[in-house]
Homo-oligomer: A and B are copies of this chain.
Amino acid sequence: MATLFTKIINREIPAKIIYENENVLAFEDINPQAPHHVLIVPKVEIPTINDLTPENVHHVGNLFLAAKDIAKQLGVSERGYRVVMNCNAEAGQTVFHLHLHLLGGRRLSWPPG
């Protein structure tokens, strides 16, 4: 069964898409935690960080290259932004399709959760 994010990638579920290339899709988080809060997802389904291998880890690189581009697009590259990825229950992962949170537009505090 396709994940929620695959359904967004396939335009079966609406989302505020702000960026797309052949490898990744990025859209606004529906429950934003900062003035800019974007989810960046690979177009292939990889459930968690625990499922990364030398063969598929280039998808993470693609998420980070997209994060850099999106930060520039949003005007936060120089001010700063944070990227976060959750793995499993204690981190609060709810969709088991790898996704990088990008937060920016305000001072981000520490600890990160």
Q: How far is the CB of A2 from chain B (nearest CB, A)?
A: 23
Q: How far is the CA of A76 from the CA of B53 in the complex (A)?
A: 18
Kindly supply a per-residue 1/0 record for chain A positions 72-83, scoring 1 wherever the CB is within 8 Å of any chain B CB and 0 otherwise: 100011111111
> Are A85 and B87 also in contact (CB < 8 A) when A92-B110, A101-B112, A111-B113 are?
no
**Is A91 located at the chain interface by the 8 A CB criterion?**
yes
Number of copies of this protein chain within its complex:
2
Kindly supply a per-residue 1/0 record for chain A positions 37-76, scoring 1 wherever the CB is within 8 Å of any chain B CB and 0 otherwise: 0000000000001101110011011101101100110001
Known A-B contacts: A49-B68, A108-B112. Give 5 more (CB < 8 A). A58-B58, A78-B88, A81-B87, A84-B112, A111-B113
On A, residues with C-beta under 8 Å from B are 33-34, 49-50, 52-54, 57-58, 60-62, 64-65, 67-68, 71-72, 76-93, 101, 103-104, 106-113
